[in-house]
Structure 1
Amino acid sequence: MPLFTREHQIDMLLVYGEVRKNRREAKALYWQRYPDRAQPHDKYFPWLERHLKTERIEEEPNEFIVSEEAEINTLACIEVDPTTSVRQIAANIGIGRESVRNILKKHKFKPFKYQVHHHLYEADHQRRLEFCNWFMVQQRPNLSRFILFSDESRFTNLVSEPHFENRPHIICSLVEFVCFSDINQTTSEKIIGQTGKRA
């Protein structure tokens, strides 16, 4: 179906109503009145009526309006604690979360996200060296298939932060395990040896 201007669509609806919503008669009458225009298929008339009844009218976006006091308080909350959640700021100041988001966006603040970082200890080099020496003298073929090599920072007991109740979407490890304390020997079904100790 060709695209029609808004003016042409209004003319089509007027013709469609004039012939009591008979689409074939509407097509013939529209062609008779406007022979130099692009002509719609007869099914276009009822479709256009349905579409315009259910179409969402485009409105100008609402301009973001918030008091200067709320804006200053929001920025002060971020200055005091950059990890504060939008929900917590909104509750403290007494404005909506969307208003807080808009203020932060206006001042080019990005959401704070926790990142996991790998931390090496002084004894890690020696432990790794011992593991490599142990691995080289093993007589078991395909031993490497039974060893999980991964980033140490992921081996935690997943103890959550003390303020977990206030921010349930953040889980941050407090107690890490150092995995090179003893060399862990693996069998096909289980790990033999100490799996780690508290740092």
Structure 2
Amino acid sequence: MAAYTTEEYADIVFAYGRANGNTREAQRIYEEQYPNRRVPHHNTFANTFRRLRETGNLNFQKPRINRRQYDVAVDENVIRDEDPTTSTRKVATDLNISTWKAWSVVKAEGRHPFHYTPVQGLLQADYERRVKFCRFLLLADVENGHFLRSILWTDESTFTRAGIFNQHNLHYWENKNVNPHLTRAKSFQTRFSVNVWTDVIGRHLIGPHYLPRNLNRDNNLHFLQNDLPQLLADIPIFNEDGPIVFQNDGCPAHYRVAVREFLDNTFSNSWIRRAGPIAWAPRSPDLTPLDFYVWGRSKELVYEVEIDNLDHLIQRIDAAFLTVREEMRLRLTTVEMRRRCRACIRARGAQFQQN
């Protein structure tokens, strides 16, 4: 249907004003005033008034269709760059085109911007050790179906005031017209932290236990001799599952002679450590459930809110561990460990796809 005349548009605005901005009422007034005319849709009254207010023009103008002009030479130049890390902004600047144009060409070519995954750096000698460690775990798991669930995975981690601040996953939902202008502090003059120990065996999460800020041979040995037995007392470990296999990474406090002698006497040849009866694969957080699940999940929960003081931090840690303890499943220390060991072997000891 053709657009309205200028006179009709003027009468539409007049009726809209008489109705005080009520489009339904404006439609009724217009129909009573001009019974021989076609009656506009009630939205036409508001649209006409808005158009007059914004553009000063009553006549409706069809939008100009801006068809994309395909330039084969430009498209080829966009995708010709062999450096996969080049940004679309740089390509657009170099070719004197818009960033939108560069994005549309890249998208049409089916390319997607993937993010880097931070991984632990490895030394050349680590690859063979990682493969050897994974083969041992898989073989022991075949020979003894309870082996993986009998490993006592242990580790310490530091929780600070600043913690982790993942802006990508942190959202605040609000009406799109109401910007709350949220901020969150990530740098502080007053700093504090706690050193937290925990372990996992089977589907059981033990801890958190708060260690001295600086872990050394003496306080680590005191912890192993006095605190660890009490922490393990309430965990239902069945004798028929075989002896506990104690895992320790290679940090200096774990490698002191007195500590190794104590663990040798306590766990005999059934413990994992650097250059130990079962050789631990160095720099391998991807091969321990504490690193690939427990620490990440607990810190995600702890730092959902800003930390006010040390007591608040400890309170958040305790609450986070309650949640993680409920979420723990046996498959993390069995099925997931088998999958990761196989993936590590296929990668010949290099970093592998985590998910």
Q: TM-score scaled by structure 2?
A: 0.29
Comparing both chains, which one has the higher relative contact order based on Cα–Cα distances under 8 Å and sequence gaps of 6 or more? 2
Choose between structure 1 and 2: higher strand proportion: 2
Q: TM-score scaled by structure 1?
A: 0.45
